[in-house]
Structure 1
Amino acid sequence: MKVLIRAIVSFFVFVVDVVYSNRSYARFYVLETIARVPYFSYLSVLHLYETLGYWRKADWLKVHFAQTWNELHHLLIMESLGGNRLWIDRFVAKHIAVAYYWVVVPLYMALPKYAYYLMELIENHAYHTYNGYLNEHEIELKTQPAPQIAIDYYRDGDLYMFEEVQTTPDSTFRRPHVNTLYDVFVNIRDDECEHVKTMVALQQLDARPEGVTKSL
């Protein structure tokens, strides 16, 4: 099963990277639109289970909602940078997202471990994509100011939801700098790393959601 999932993700990554090889912000917009969808799928299934009285995993709901909130702000940042300027990019991203949602829902219901593994691969790709972009454009990014939406989220907003996606083992949480566009992309890259760690932890048989983002 893992081989099949890796093959699907590799094909998707190849297509997106080829199509958007020369348009970074559009590529990031597409990736962020799609990347938050599995969290919607997880939440939908967990809400269904709660409604049916099948099990109660409220802490899982909290973790995944915090992740959607984090990914939403990544998406808003990319929109502020013009990543969604062309209708074709919006069309592609949203239609893939809808299809992706209905792929992940049954996968999560039948094989939740593999649904988390799928997201681990997607988030790991996002981490390396942003890291490569930072290495290639460091000087240019450091000359540009941070978008207001990034400042609002990382510095001035309510940090409760931001802290929920952190995997720091003690009470010292990441307090990111957000002065330049370089800082913004560093923060987004590091967020993706936090998502990867959480996805890995949730694949463990003894995973306990109530402490997973604080005990890695």
Structure 2
Amino acid sequence: MTSRMGGSILLRHLGGRLFSTTTTAVRSAATAEVANYFMYGGSAPAKGMAMWVRVFPVRMASTTASPAVSREDKATAAKDATGKDGAGTPPSAKKEIVSYWGIQPSKLVKEDGTEWKWSCFRPWDTYNSDVSIDLKKHHVPTTFLDKVAYWTVKALRIPVDIFFQRRHGHRVMMIETVAAVPGMVGGMLLHLRSLRRFDHSGGWIRALLEEAENERMHLMTFMEVVKPRWYERALVIAVQGVFFNAYFVGYLLSPKFAHRVVGYLEEEAIHSYNEFFKDLEAGKMENIPAPAIAIDYWRLPADATLKDVVTVVRADEAHHRDVNHFASDIHYRGMELKETPAPLEYH
């Protein structure tokens, strides 16, 4: 396409928007001369005339007054802003806040017909936790990597015990900020591996991401029970930054070792929730009513207490323990899961 043809198309489509029609006579003449050159093949514009041509937004270049607004338009705008003839309920009370993408959120209701008020999870994400799961299972470390993973977790528990003592609410809040990291990291890396190799994931991507989401809901629940102090928030940021990168590198080097570490972390989490439960039963901590978010997420009865919440969360941790120990005992061959000959050893 020649420069004249390109200039002709550009001026035809954008000329009315980019050039003001209310500029001075000199600038109008310059614009007309340039348009004549591009569109009709006239003589080249003079240097002095071409220098006047500039691209301005219409609002900036125009010298005309803004169009008048009628009384009816003003009344309509005032009614929309205030709710009713300039006085009434504010718009925030009349209009529902839309999502980030500008999509009107759908109206969800619970089984009893009341409105669903949680945005961090939906009714189809709720479930009844299996509290009959064995809480005493322990994977006996046999290989060298198993022993490294076991003693690494035991060493990490020492500073946590010193810092939190018997402040169980703050302790489990810190645990959940760490426990929600491995599932996301593992799911992300398996997702990328599936894309690179054009292979199926064997269902493990979804399983690990659901684990991360479940751990995050544990955190959202205990945020309603205890409020973290400023130094605890700072500690969370520091620990998450270190743990995420360490686990990321560890998973790249050895997924077996990474899953084994998580399995032992979950065993320690079960121990922490056992101590939490004992103090609640002994009356050392107040057995307050369960937060509303926990009642809806785990489908607990309306009169559920904090002890019921600890029970279902502990069962979730036991499930994650078994999943990660099993993941460590399998290996991938074309993303298809193959069990190792040696069975899981629990006692």
CA distance in 2, matches of 1:76, 1:194: 19
Deviation at 1:206, TM superposition (A): 6.1
- 2:273 and 2:314 in contact (8 A); partners too: yes
CA distance in 2, matches of 1:81, 1:143: 11
Tell me which residue corresponds to 2:148. 4
CA distance in 2, matches of 1:199, 1:177: 30
Tell me which residue corresponds to 2:162. 18
Mapping of 1:39-188 within 5 angstroms?
39-53=183-197, 55-57=199-201, 59-84=203-228, 86-138=229-281, 140=283, 143-155=287-299, 179-188=304-313
* Per-residue CA distance 1:98-149 (angstroms, 9 max, x = gap): 2111111122122111111000010000011101210222254684210011
Q: CA RMSD in A?
A: 2.2
TM-score (norm 2): 0.51
Quick check: 132-141 or 19-28, which moved more? 132-141
Relative distance call for 1:142 and 1:19 in structure 2 (3 A) is closer
Deviation at 1:4, TM superposition (A): 2.5
Tell me which residue corresponds to 1:197. 322
Deviation at 1:18, TM superposition (A): 0.9
Relative distance call for 1:146 and 1:52 in structure 2 (3 A) is same
2:330 is paired with a residue of what secondary structure? coil
Relative distance call for 1:187 and 1:114 in structure 2 (3 A) is same
CA distance in 2, matches of 1:56, 1:195: 22
Tell me the amino acid that sits aligned with residue 32 of structure 1. Answer: E
* Per-residue CA distance 1:52-90 (angstroms, 9 max, x = gap): 226431611110111111101110111111242x01111
1:129 is paired with a residue of what secondary structure? helix
Relative distance call for 1:23 and 1:204 in structure 2 (3 A) is same
Tell me which residue corresponds to 1:158. none
- 2:188 and 2:205 in contact (8 A); partners too: no
- 2:187 and 2:206 in contact (8 A); partners too: no
Deviation at 1:191, TM superposition (A): 0.7
Tell me the amino acid that sits aligned with residue 48 of structure 1. Answer: L
Q: How many residues align?
A: 189
1:72 is paired with a residue of what secondary structure? helix
- The structure with higher relative contact order (CA 8 Å, sep 6+) is 1
Identical amino acids, percent of aligned pairs: 25
Q: Which structure is higher in helix share?
A: 1
